[in-house]
Amino acid sequence: MKQPPLVNLKTEREYQLYYERVYCREPINTFDKISVYFRKSRFNHCFYESSKRNGVKDKFSRIRAERMDWIKATLKNPRAKLFQGWDKSKKRYDPSARVAIVFNNYVVIIIIRKNKKNRCHADFLTAYVAENSIHKILKSPEWKPMK
C-alpha cells in the first residue's frame, strides 16, 4: 500500500478541525472489523510533543499532524504488523493495546475494549513516528485478538 500524501494545512486550528471532521464524526473500521472511536480530546495527546522531553506535551508537532491521514490507512491495511503495547505504569505488555505498523516506523495505537455483548471496539490512543523506540516495538509480543 502506498503512503497517503502529507496533510499540508496552515494552522494548528485547521489541523484540529480536519481531525474532528475526518475522525471524530463516526468510527473508523479496521481491516479486521474493529470499530475505532476517536475523541476530540485526543488531539493534543496525539499531535503535540514534549519540547523538554519531560512528558509535558507543550509543542504542536507538524510532523505528527502532516501524517494524520496515515492513521486511517494504517488501521485499514490488512498487511499491518500488529504488536502488543507497553503499559509504562505497570511495566508490562498490555494485550488490549494494539500497535499497528504499515509505513516504516509510523505507529498507530488503539486500546481494544469489549462491550457487554462481548463485541470488540477500540479507542484511538495516539500515532507517531517511532524513531527512538521502533526497535523495541518490533521486539514486542505479537498482538492477538482478545477472547
- Specify the pairing of strand 35-37 against strand 120-129: parallel
User: For residue 21, is it within any domain?
Assistant: yes
- Specify the pairing of strand 92-101 against strand 35-37: unpaired
Secondary structure (3-state) at 62: helix
Mean pLDDT of the region 60-77: 96
> Does the structure show a pLDDT above 90 at 120?
no
User: For residue 43, is it within any domain?
Assistant: yes
Rounded CA separation 15/11 (Å): 7
pLDDT digits (tens, 9 = 90+) for 73-108: 999 999 999 999 999 899 999 999 999 999 999 999
Q: What is the pLDDT of residue 42?
A: 94
Is the Cβ–Cβ distance between 145 and 32 less than 8 Å? yes
Is the Cβ–Cβ distance between 82 and 98 less than 8 Å? yes
Is the Cβ–Cβ distance between 40 and 20 less than 8 Å? yes
Domain interval for residue 85: 12-137
Asked which of 7-11, 81-85, 100-104, 143-147 is least confident by mean pLDDT, the reply is 143-147
User: For residue 105, is it within any domain?
Assistant: yes
Instruction: Work out the mean pLDDT of the chain and round it to a whole number.
Output: 92
The pLDDT confidence band at residue 63, using thresholds 50, 70 and 90, is very high
User: For residue 146, is it within any domain?
Assistant: no
* Counted domains in the chain: 1
Q: What is the pLDDT of residue 116?
A: 67
Rounded CA separation 59/39 (Å): 20
What is the distance, to the nearest Å, from the Cα of residue 92 to the centroid of all Cα atoms in its chain? Answer: 19
User: For residue 124, is it within any domain?
Assistant: yes
User: For residue 109, is it within any domain?
Assistant: yes
